[in-house]
């Protein structure tokens, strides 16, 4: 039986329109899902929206819309972002779905009750609407939430509490042992330090009179589930947990990778595993924690005017160029920076005048010198990789690709080193460009047509082979590049004849367009 792979994005909060961080998580998840499908694993990729809580109510009121209409409109924007990115998600869950999500949330709540881990108590504390959570004084800076720059509300009310403290040691043990891994290591260290300080029981409900927009507590409709008790359940409710049609739950849980932002790390690394342990369910295998994407070194803000609209970037440069920038230029697990100027420079340098130019010049020479068609040369005649290109002058490109590129790429992907994987491919395309510069087929054709054919075959076949790996990152580009050389993803390793099919520039230079205008 094939291995399975279950990857999730966060379910995105619909109080505002999709932004760059949402697009980043979508692209990472889609890239991982594509790669795991490509190696034959049964794969499930989930995205969705979190639609309950006080912030949603306030955002709908501010927009002058009924709450249900507001969340539906926002939900559609997140769905459209997935489409614009070319993401092939297998499902999309939303927490206001009473048929698919609510049964799972209610079933998990009852499991916590059965375990004796929910109890009522009066709580007085500071409630941050931005986080949809109670905070402490140490979480504040000058009396305000550091993340949302707003003072929390003082609230005193009777809530249900979850005995999170009961599971502190078990969660800590799971992280240390690798049962639930956290990447990068800095985030693992952060959570272990947090757990070392001690974990308190947490509020798990709000009075329905104050928060009516949400899921009512089973058997106690005077209370509404705390938004995280509701929202975190999405990862299993979508698979059928709590319903009769739970085949996907039995197949895909536990999750192999939860992709989350660092701002929601504690919820996923402490509260979520606590809930699962209480319910007797397996923990997720991996938490992949992304950093924040800034613009020009500053947090994106409408006031500053540095907010980047992902739809605008995709419309101007294409989804694959956008995906490339996010995956290559934002170091996975670290904070990154995105500016229109930097995006343009990367597009021109790495794509239009790099990868795109390599395909154009190689195909053009095959057309010019060999009427657009070349056949596979004898193995012993293959030209070696020049020393200054990382070879020794004797090792063939086939050997170099197999041992220096394909193996390391596979290792990087299996270890979730996504930036390393695409950087490796990018460097290999540069190597092929340098290969042309070293052997100069445009000069060699005058004295040795056979060797010229060998050089061009080597470059073309390895554009095809590298494109097969690139498909996970830039699916449309990979397809176009293979098509230029008469190939497709299924035949990339078994080609005896390369026949050029011109398709225009893969990455048209925007600078050239500006000059033309």
SS3 sequence, 84-140?
HHCCCCCEEEECCCCCCCHHHHHHHHHHHHHCCCEEEEEEEEEEECCCCEEECHHHE
Nearest to 89 by CA among 39, 32, 51: 32
At 516, is the pLDDT very low, low, confident or very high (cuts 50, 70, 90)? very low
SS (H, E, C) 400-442: HHHHHHHHHHHHHHHCCCHHHHHHHHHHHHHHHHHHHHHHCHH
Q: Looking at the predicted structure, is the pLDDT value of residue 375 above 90?
A: yes
Q: Which domains does the chain have, with CATH numbers?
A: 339-516 (1.10.730.10)
393 burial class (0-12, 13-18, 19+ CB within 10 angstroms)? exposed
pLDDT (0 to 100) of residue 494:
78
Three-state SS for 77? helix
pLDDT (0 to 100) of residue 384:
59
Q: What is the mean pLDDT of residues 62-79?
A: 96
pLDDT (0 to 100) of residue 514:
45
Percent of the chain with pLDDT over 70: 91
Contact in structure between 421 and 413 (CB atoms under 8 Å): yes
pLDDT tens by residue, 377-411? 875 455 556 545 555 555 678 888 999 999 999 99
pLDDT (0 to 100) of residue 419:
97
Provide the mean pLDDT of the chain.
91
* pTM of the predicted model as reported, rounded to 2 decimal places: 0.91
pLDDT (0 to 100) of residue 504:
79
pLDDT tens by residue, 438-476? 889 999 999 999 999 999 999 999 999 999 999 999 999
According to the per-residue pLDDT averaged within each range, which of 271-275, 330-334, 444-448, 454-458 is highest? Answer: 271-275
At 430, is the pLDDT very low, low, confident or very high (cuts 50, 70, 90)? very high
At 502, is the pLDDT very low, low, confident or very high (cuts 50, 70, 90)? confident
At 510, is the pLDDT very low, low, confident or very high (cuts 50, 70, 90)? confident
């Amino acid at each position: 039986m094939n291995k399975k792979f279950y990857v999730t994005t966060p379910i995105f909060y619909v109080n505002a329109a999709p932004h760059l961080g949402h697009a980043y998580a979508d692209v990472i998840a889609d890239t991982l899902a594509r790669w795991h499908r490509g190696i034959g694993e049964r794969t499930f990729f989930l995205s969705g929206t979190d639609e309950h809580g006080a912030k949603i109510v306030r955002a709908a009121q501010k927009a002058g819309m009924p709450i249900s209409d507001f969340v539906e409109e926002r939900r559609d924007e997140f769905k459209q972002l997935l489409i614009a990115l070319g993401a092939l998600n297998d499902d999309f869950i939303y927490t206001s779905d009473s048929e698919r999500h609510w049964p799972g949330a209610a079933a998990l709540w009852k499991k916590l009750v059965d375990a004796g881990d929910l109890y009522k108590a009066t709580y007085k504390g500071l409630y941050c609407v931005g986080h949809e959570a109670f905070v402490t004084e140490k979480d504040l800076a000058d009396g305000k939430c550091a993340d949302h720059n707003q003072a929390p509300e003082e609230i005193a009310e009777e809530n249900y509490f979850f005995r999170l403290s009961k599971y502190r040691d078990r969660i800590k043990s799971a992280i240390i042992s690798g049962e639930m891994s956290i990447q990068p290591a800095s985030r693992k260290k952060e959570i272990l330090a947090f757990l070392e300080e001690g974990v308190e029981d947490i509020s798990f409900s709000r009075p329905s009179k104050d928060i009516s927009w949400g899921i009512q507590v089973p058997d106690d409709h005077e209370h509404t589930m705390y938004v995280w008790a509701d929202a975190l359940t999405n990862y299993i409710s979508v698979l059928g947990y709590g319903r009769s049609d739970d085949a996907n739950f039995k197949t895909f849980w536990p999750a192999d990778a939860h992709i989350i932002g660092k701002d929601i790390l504690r919820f996923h690394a402490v509260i979520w595993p606590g809930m699962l342990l209480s319910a007797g369910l397996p923990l997720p295998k991996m938490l992949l924690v992304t950093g924040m994407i800034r613009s020009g070194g500053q947090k994106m803000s409408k006031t500053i005017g540095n907010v980047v609209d992902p739809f605008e970037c995709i419309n101007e440069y294409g989804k694959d160029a956008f995906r490339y920038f996010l995956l290559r230029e934002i170091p996975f697990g670290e904070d990154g920076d995105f500016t229109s100027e930097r995006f343009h420079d990367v597009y021109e340098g790495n794509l239009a005048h790099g990868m795109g130019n390599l395909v154009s010049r190689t195909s053009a020479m095959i057309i010019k010198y060999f009427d657009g068609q070349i056949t596979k040369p004898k193995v012993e005649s293959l030209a070696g990789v020049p020393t200054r290109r990382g070879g020794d002058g004797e090792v063939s490109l086939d050997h170099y690709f197999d041992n220096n590129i394909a193996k390391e790429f596979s290792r990087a992907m299996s270890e979730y080193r996504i930036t390393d994987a695409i950087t490796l491919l990018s460097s290999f395309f540069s190597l092929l460009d340098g290969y042309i510069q070293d052997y100069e087929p445009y000069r060699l054709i005058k004295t040795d047509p056979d060797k010229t054919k060998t050089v061009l075959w080597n470059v073309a076949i390895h554009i095809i082979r590298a494109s097969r790996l690139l498909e996970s990152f830039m699916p449309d580009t990979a397809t176009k590049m293979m098509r230029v050389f008469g190939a497709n993803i299924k035949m990339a390793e078994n080609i005896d004849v390369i026949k050029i099919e011109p398709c225009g520039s893969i990455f048209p230079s925007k600078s050239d367009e500006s000059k033309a205008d």
